Structure 1
Amino acid sequence: MKKQVMLLGLSVLLCGCGGKSEEKEGTGTYTNDNGEKTTARVKLKNDKIAEVEIDETAKGKDKTKKELGEAYGMKQASPIKKEWNEQIAYFEKYVEKHGIDKIKLNKDGKAENNDVRTGCTISVNGFIKAIQDAEKNAK
């Protein structure tokens, strides 16, 4: 019984001594040559992306592409038949899981990685630049 109490006390002590993960948040932007403004918000845990939220506004428009949702009208032109908001949701989850360092881009700014292209065929170079800006602002 004494050993069990001692082990319990030791485990509580060790849990209390564990390092805390440091969280930081930042927002970044990128505006492309067409005037589309990309905004990225990141939450970093121990300097790695834990959460990311990306949205984009076309030049002269009031609503973001996420706000437009299905009304943005990309689904029919998409080779994977996904709307912009569906593709960006996939990309956000991908970045949260894998980060941005291993994403390879072609000359059009689209990801060459098959695991990205299965859910996101739109150009992502502006998203990556906005994420990098947000990371810099969070640190």
Structure 2
Amino acid sequence: MITKKISCTILGCTLAAALTLTACGGSGSGSSGSMSTGMGGSSSQTTQNAAWRTGLGILTEADGEERAGKINTIAAAVLLDAEGKVADVMLDEVEISVTGDGTGKVTMPGETLTKRQKGEDYPLAAVSSLKKGWTEQADAFGDFLTGKTPDEVKKLATDDDGKPKDADLLSGCTIAVDGYRDAVVRACENAKAVGSARGDRAVLGVSVRNDTKDLTADDDHDVTAQVDITVTALTLDADDRVTSAIADVTEPALTVSADGTVSAPELVKTKLEQGDQYGMRGASALDKEWYEHSEGWCDYLKGRTRAEVASIPDDGSDADLAAVCTISVTELQKAALAAFAEE
């Protein structure tokens, strides 16, 4: 009996020590998504890394009234930790104006930069009581959300103008945040375990394509003013390598009639949100829907640096990429590189 008790005691101590070492090893700040998929990684580390999730949220509003229309798209990249709390956030926004005149001629801006891409050229700091630009205030809002649960983010109070009520938040951010809050909530709802891990950071890239040129409506034909907005959320490890990626596209379009009246759709869904309803599978050589091609592209990015992503040919000549994704990756690549640029 004594021998059995001693054996049990030794075994219990050994198990306790093993559990302690596992817990300590899993919480090291140096772990990354690339480690979770690398050779020789422990199963406990892989399990923990899988619990971290990456999310992308896109909200688009399109408005039309008389001879003026507006497209507004807010995007949020979110990294959620193993407890489901916000670990990192990056935000951006695109504003496109459309006008029509009495002859049906459509005018759209030539510049399609986002607010973050405009940087100091976006005219906010001069009129801000904080003397801070949009990027500084948006990042302050993201920092404020860090450590909160998605439900806490959802309950963030704003006034009638969408501005925050929290005094601590107002000390660094006085812009309207209701749309950004909702985009972060959407990103949290969409978040998936696709390779991100402790120690990673979230970045967001946007590429806007405007192919609308010399459009004029007539009595027999309305015309469509559309922009294609490609958005990519990446997580990067300490070596600036991609650990996870999510890519999506929103295609808001306004209709302009012969008298210049601009009208807008009630709802704009992204390609990921459309899912199988997007209707690409039948025309795909891989028998895949758009979201599946996007997933193939995103998986292909994992482990790559900015230079390696930039070197990916966009003509379909890469056999490994073509095996999982045959859609055009030109705008997807631009959005991914834009995300690296914002790091």
Normalising by the smaller structure, the TM-score range is 0.7 to 0.9
- Over residues 4-59 of structure 1, what are the superposed CA-to-partner deviations in whole Å (9 max), with x where a residue is unaligned? xxx79853442226773611111001224553211001111122111111111112
- Matching of residues 19-34 of structure 1 within 5 Å: 20=48, 22-32=51-61, 34=70
Q: 1:124 to 1:137 in 2, by over 3 A?
A: same
SS at match of 2:71: coil
- TM-score, normalised to structure 1, is 0.83
Q: 1:59: which partner in 2?
A: 96
SS at match of 1:41: strand
Q: 2:126: which partner in 1?
A: 76
Larger radius of gyration, structure 1 or 2?
2
> Alignment length, in residue pairs?
134
Deviation at 1:103, TM superposition (A): 2.4
Where structure 1 has 5 or more consecutive residues not aligned to the other structure, the ranges are 1-6
Task: Tell me the distance in 1 between the aligned counterparts of 2:189 and 2:154.
Answer: 14
Task: Tell me the distance in 2 between the aligned counterparts of 1:52 and 1:115.
Answer: 18
- Over residues 34-92 of structure 1, what are the superposed CA-to-partner deviations in whole Å (9 max), with x where a residue is unaligned? 53211001111122111111111112551111111101011111111110011011111
Structure 2: which amino acid aligns with 1:75? A
2:145 is the alignment partner of 1:95: yes
1:128 to 178, 181, 188: 181
- RMSD of aligned alpha carbons: 2.5
2:151 is the alignment partner of 1:115: no
Q: 1:26 to 1:75 in 2, by over 3 A?
A: same
Q: 1:16: which partner in 2?
A: 22
Deviation at 1:137, TM superposition (A): 0.7
Q: 1:89 to 1:98 in 2, by over 3 A?
A: same
Flag as ranges the 4+ runs of structure 1 deviating above 4 A.
7-10
Higher helix share: 1
Q: 2:74: which partner in 1?
A: 38
The answer to which structure, 1 or 2, has the higher relative contact order (CA under 8 A, 6+ apart) is 1
Q: Report which stretch shifted further, 69-78 or 90-99.
A: 90-99
Structure 2: which amino acid aligns with 1:40? A
SS at match of 1:58: strand
Q: Are the counterparts in 2 of residues 28 and 39 from structure 1 also a CA contact under 8 Å?
A: yes
Task: Tell me the distance in 2 between the aligned counterparts of 1:120 and 1:10.
Answer: 47
Q: 1:48 to 1:97 in 2, by over 3 A?
A: closer
SS at match of 1:59: strand
1:47 to 53, 74, 84: 84
Deviation at 1:121, TM superposition (A): 0.4
Q: Are the counterparts in 2 of residues 31 and 126 from structure 1 also a CA contact under 8 Å?
A: no
Structure 2: which amino acid aligns with 1:49? V
Task: Tell me the distance in 2 between the aligned counterparts of 1:126 and 1:101.
Answer: 11
Q: 1:74 to 1:109 in 2, by over 3 A?
A: same
Task: Tell me the distance in 2 between the aligned counterparts of 1:44 and 1:115.
Answer: 23
Deviation at 1:102, TM superposition (A): 5.2
- TM-score, normalised to structure 2, is 0.36
Task: Tell me the distance in 1 between the aligned counterparts of 2:169 and 2:113.
Answer: 26
